[in-house]
Amino acid sequence: MRAEVVSMTADNLDMEAIRRGGDILKQGGLVAFPTETVYGLGGDALNPQASMKIYAAKGRPSDNPLIVHIADYEDLKAVAVNIPAKTDALAAHFWPGPLTMIFEKSEVVPYGTTGGLDTVAVRMPSDPVAAAVIRAAGGFVSAPSANTSGRPSPTTAQHVSEDLDGKIDMILDSGSVDIGLESTILDMTVEPPMILRPGAITADMFEEVIGPVSVDE
């Protein structure tokens, strides 16, 4: 079955389509949508069956953990525990945006989403379509790049449908996204926090906000 493609612009969201996308996600389906870095393949992060579908659609090994995307900062507390005090300042400066932070996971996050880890990766994307569909889905959406593993990350809805048609339920299309860098991954479970993956936000930018960070070798 072909995925339904719905076009909209970021400043004129099709809220009816976004509501339907949210319903598909709540029912365990997959919806691709733009983020500021690439098109993401969305699934309900709190539903392990949805995570299995993401791994199957991408051909990605299921021990490679997914990043949980949120739209509202308060929602972090639902998926993470022992959140260090520095997190507030980092979120105030860099969220929404291309920063992923790692925390101890709460019980609601299934191991099927974290690849079996007791930690969870969380990011708040800035794209308005992403934020709207995350809220419509209940607040917690895994969204790795919407491509078969090994293929280039998709920057248009057309790329997504050429690669994943038949494996996903819906594509929210708002034109091409910037070919941005990946999100920077910062491990907040260690002190000082450690950069696990370099990206758009650099060590210098973190240090201006929270002081020293370390870098994984």
Residues that bind ligand AMP (CB under 6 A): 64-65, 67, 102, 114, 117, 119-121, 144, 182, 185, 196
Contact 130, 142 (CB under 8 A): no
| 25 contacts 19 by C-beta, under 8 angstroms | no
The partner in contact with residue 64, picked from ligand AMP, Mg ion, none with C-beta cut-offs of 5 to 8 angstroms by kind, is ligand AMP
Least CB distance to Mg ion at residue 186 (A): 18
The H or E element that residue 207 is part of is helix 203-210
Helix, strand counts (H, E) of the chain: 8, 12
Q: Find the shortest distance in angstroms from Cβ 125 to ligand AMP.
A: 11
User: Is-contact 102 119, C-beta < 8 A?
Assistant: yes
Q: Based on CB atoms, which residue is closest to ligand AMP, 54 or 136? A: 54
Among 47, 51, 145, 155, binds Mg ion (CB under 5 A): 145
Query: Least distance from C-beta 34 to ligand AMP, angstroms?
Result: 15
The minimum distance between CB 153 and Mg ion, in angstroms, equals: 5
**Closest CA relative to residue 188, chosen from 111, 76, 110:** 76
The footprint of Mg ion (CB under 5 A) covers 145
